[in-house]
Amino acid sequence: MAQIFGIRQLAQALRERKTSATELTRQAIAAAKNRADLNALITLDEAGALAAAERADAALARNPESVLAGIPFAHKDIFCTNGLRTTCASRMLDNFVPPYDANVVDKLAATQAVSIGKANMDEFAMGSSNENSFYGAVKNPWDTTRVPGGSSGGSAALVAAGIVPFATGTDTGGSIRQPAAFCGITGLKPTYGRVSRFGMIAFASSLDTASVLARSAEDCAQVLAAMAGHDARDATSANRAVDDYVGALAKPLQGLRVGIAREYFGAGIDAGVAAAVQAALKQYEKLGATLVDISLPNAALAIPAYYVIAPAEASSNLARYDGVRYGYAAKEPKSLEDLYTRTRAEGFGAEVKRRILVGTYALSAGYYDAYYLRAQRVRRLIADDFIEAFKTVDLIAGPTTPSVAFKIGEKSSDPLAMYAADVNTVAVNLAGLPAISLPVGFSDGLPVGLQLIAPAFEEARLLNAAHQFQLSSDWHARKPEGVA
């Protein structure tokens, strides 16, 4: 039985006055400064955090309802924060201070949780290594020569390094689950529409989901409970009740049918990753689950479909960065066209430009049918594969990534190799489903993640399955050397 000192324990300590929000916040700020080498934060908001901690301490005196009150955390720098610079890790928004809070920011502020700042990420969430940041690469706390994964790499590194117990993130093609796997933590991607996208800077609108990275499934459940819910400011937000995620954690797994998709155990998977995942599946059997062989026949089409749809949407979403109203603007433009071309040439990084070009091409007259429309048809097929599979199983399991964290610089010159690392995660976004990555072992001393996928709006089932595993294992309690 592995216990970590998680949100529940912190909340209890706060209520027993063994610590205070201010003390926790000071510790988190100190830890962040101490691990500046990780480059996990773009903005450390010391003053704002301490002010929020003071308010949280006042609230704690009145015994607040939310378990998150007074707990420090960090926001991925993709969530707009009123009065606090929000960069999306782009030169384009280096000077951008939003006059509004994202829905996720609002909701967490309402719990009196204390944000210490804004986490580094891949520029506009485009990347799988956190090397595509205007503010530099983030390093993996398990091995600082390696990537933490992306795009929520800063969030994952902060949690893995023990700086904060949780951090917000976003997942468009794996951007929560892959860094969670690379950093040995737990990351939940909810159903599309479960958490509002209002105030979350768009990458690919039909795929972007907001959620949480934490040490354990239990912590994820606590945070998702605060983030989820309908928001009238997001037309794609689901108008349905939020399940009791925490309440569902304790359910035994007896009779749970776990689908093993043969496509997720193909040639590309590292032996060490496969071994750790197989061991975890055995553990699930011990917990009472039944493993069922299934097939997701269109799995191989997910990457090509994703890398048409996501860039197509991005090419349009990022058109607003034109140097006219806010953000970076080229100096002394000679003409309107010069303003546009230089602003965008100078303001965006290479990967963002690559995706804008790919997306623009895919939507162009004469190519639209062959790329965008075909990718949408494939998307339907992939979603149908899952619907079919969930007729016989409750969850689908497999490795989150085919390999462990790679070296910084190893794949940065080969975008296609980088994209291929998303092979197991992107299909979930295309189908809009919830999925979780939890640590299940190590390969070459680096964490391995297991991905569980559930039918739409079955986050409670995922969290329950992950929590039960974590009650019977201690992979999630392991910390990199030197981390307290």
Q: Give backbone dihedrals phi and psi of 103, rounded to 5 degrees, phi first.
A: -55, -40
Minimum separation from the CB atom of position 304 to another protein (A): 18
Site residues for another protein, 283-312, by CB under 8 A, read: 312
| Residue number with CB closer to another protein (254 or 335) | 335
**Helix/strand/coil for 382:** helix
Q: Where are the beta strands (DSSP E) in 120-268?
A: 166-171, 186-189, 209-214, 257-261
Instruction: Give the whole-angstrom CA distance, residue 171 versus residue 164.
Output: 20
Of 18, 233, 380, 407, the residue at the interface with another protein (CB under 8 A) is 233
Residues 6+ apart with CB under 8 A from 337: none
Q: How far is the CB of 119 from another protein (least distance, A)?
A: 16
**Per-residue mark of binding to another protein, 326-345 (x: CB under 8 A):** x---------x---x-----
- 44 sits in which H/E element: strand 41-44
State which of residues 50, 55, 292, 368 lies at the interface with another protein (CB under 8 A).
368
**What is the sign, positive or negative, of the torsion defined by CA atoms of 329, 330, 336, 342?**
negative
Give the binding-site size for another protein (rule: CB under 8 A). Answer: 43
Residues 66, 76, 155, 315: which is the catalytic one?
A: 76
Give CA torsion, residues 376, 379, 383, 384, to 10 deg.
80
Q: Tell me which long-range contacts 60-65 makes (C-beta under 8 A, separation of at least 24).
A: 60/14, 60/15, 60/20, 60/21, 60/112, 63/15, 64/111, 64/112
| Residue 196 appears among annotated catalytic residues | no
Question: Is 387 near another protein (CB under 8 A)?
Answer: no
205 binds another protein (CB under 8 A): yes
Q: Helices 46-61 and 21-34 sit at what angle, rounded to 10 degrees?
A: 160
Catalytic residue status for 151: yes
Residue 197 or 478 having the CB closest to another protein: 197
Binding status of residue 200 toward another protein by CB under 8 A: yes
Q: Which of 20, 115, 133, 175 is catalytic?
A: 175
CB of 169 to another protein, least distance (A): 15
CA 191/CA 174 separation, integer angstroms:
13
According to the binding rule CB under 8 A, does residue 206 interact with another protein?
Answer: yes
Query: Does the active-site annotation cover 437?
Result: no
CB of 11 to another protein, least distance (A): 30
Interactions with another protein, residue window 45-104 (CB under 8 A)? 79-80, 86, 88, 93, 96, 98-100, 102
SS3 category, 111: coil
φ and ψ at 475, to 5 degrees?
-60, -40
Three-state SS for 435?
strand
Query: Which segment (3-11, 281-289, 359-367, 400-408) binds another protein by CB under 8 A?
Result: 359-367
Which range binds another protein by CB under 8 A, 133-141, 202-210, 243-251, 408-416? Answer: 202-210
CA triple 74-75-79, angle to 5 deg: 170
Residues 139-168 that bind another protein (CB under 8 A): none
Nearer to another protein, 197 or 476 (CB): 197
Start-end of H helices in 205-270: 217-227
Q: Does 325 help bind another protein (rule: CB under 8 A)?
A: yes
Closest separation in Å from C-beta 172 to another protein: 12
| Only segment of 193-201, 391-399, 419-427, 462-470 that touches another protein (CB under 8 A) | 193-201
Three-class secondary structure of residue 307 per DSSP: helix
Active site amino acids: 76, 151, 175
Residues that bind another protein (CB under 8 A): 79-80, 86, 88, 93, 96, 98-100, 102, 197-202, 204-206, 232-236, 312-313, 315-316, 318-320, 322, 324-326, 336, 340, 360, 363-365, 368, 372
